[in-house]
Amino acid sequence: MKPDEIDAMVPRWEQAGMSPSLIATLELGKRMSRLHLLFEHAVKAELAELGLTYAEFDVLAALSRAAEPYGMKPSELSKALFLTSGGISNVLQRLAAAGYVEREANAGDARSRWVQLTDEGRRVTDAALEAAGRAYGDVAAGVPDEAVRAAADALREVLTHIGRRRYR
């Protein structure tokens, strides 16, 4: 196995007297962060060509996963995407101005509104999902499929243990 930039950090952690378990956890976190940045930068570049931000894409993708008519309450979007209500509100305003979503009154609760994809929003979401898929494929190009599968499975195992924790 070839060393990476994270391996260069390990001797310093060892010198600091960190336990092997902590070092492994630090390596995991650093590698996940590095991978996340590589994927995110590639996706953002593709989305920029469609005139979308990453946050806008997240909202469109979440709405597209909802049952027809592809709608959710802003509070549901906020919770699902870990965004503040103010952050969701700003994104929804931009998406509505672009004609990708529309807001409708919630007949069951006058205090809230439904947000749903428009036909144009579905079209742009499909294009964005394709672009994101290309970006992920480009970043992972050359990595053996078995290695990607093994890493995805190993991360699932880690997330089943720590994924529900919330920190301030």
Domain ranges of the chain: 24-148
pLDDT tens for 26-71 read: 999 999 999 999 999 999 999 999 999 999 999 999 999 987 777 8
Global confidence as pTM: 0.82
Q: Residue 115's pLDDT is what?
A: 92
Please report which confidence band the pLDDT of residue 154 belongs to, taking 50, 70 and 90 as the band edges. Answer: very high
pLDDT for position 49: 96
Bond prior to 3 in cis (omega within 30° of 0): no
Amino acid at position 106, single letter: N
C-alpha 69/C-alpha 50 separation (Å) is 23
User: Looking at residues 15-24, what average pLDDT do you find?
Assistant: 97
Using CA atoms, how far apart are residues 165 and 15, in angstroms rounded to an integer? 30
- What are the structure tokens assigned to 148, written together? 């990607």
The region of weakest confidence among 21-25, 33-37, 141-145, 163-167 is 163-167
First to last CA, the chain: 37
Q: What is the DSSP letter of 1?
A: -
- Give the per-residue pLDDT at 75: 86
Q: Report residue 166's pLDDT band, with 50, 70 and 90 as the boundaries.
A: low
Kindly give, in sequence order, each residue whose CB lies less than 8 Å from that of residue 30, ignoring residues fewer than 6 positions away: 6, 9
Q: What is the DSSP letter of 103?
A: E
Residue reference for tokens 């994270």: 6
Q: Which stretches within 6-144 are classed as H helix?
A: 10-15, 20-49, 54-65, 74-81, 85-97, 119-140
According to CATH, the topology of domain 24-148 is Arc Repressor Mutant, subunit A (1.10.10)
> What pLDDT, on a 0 to 100 scale, did the predictor assign at position 110?
61
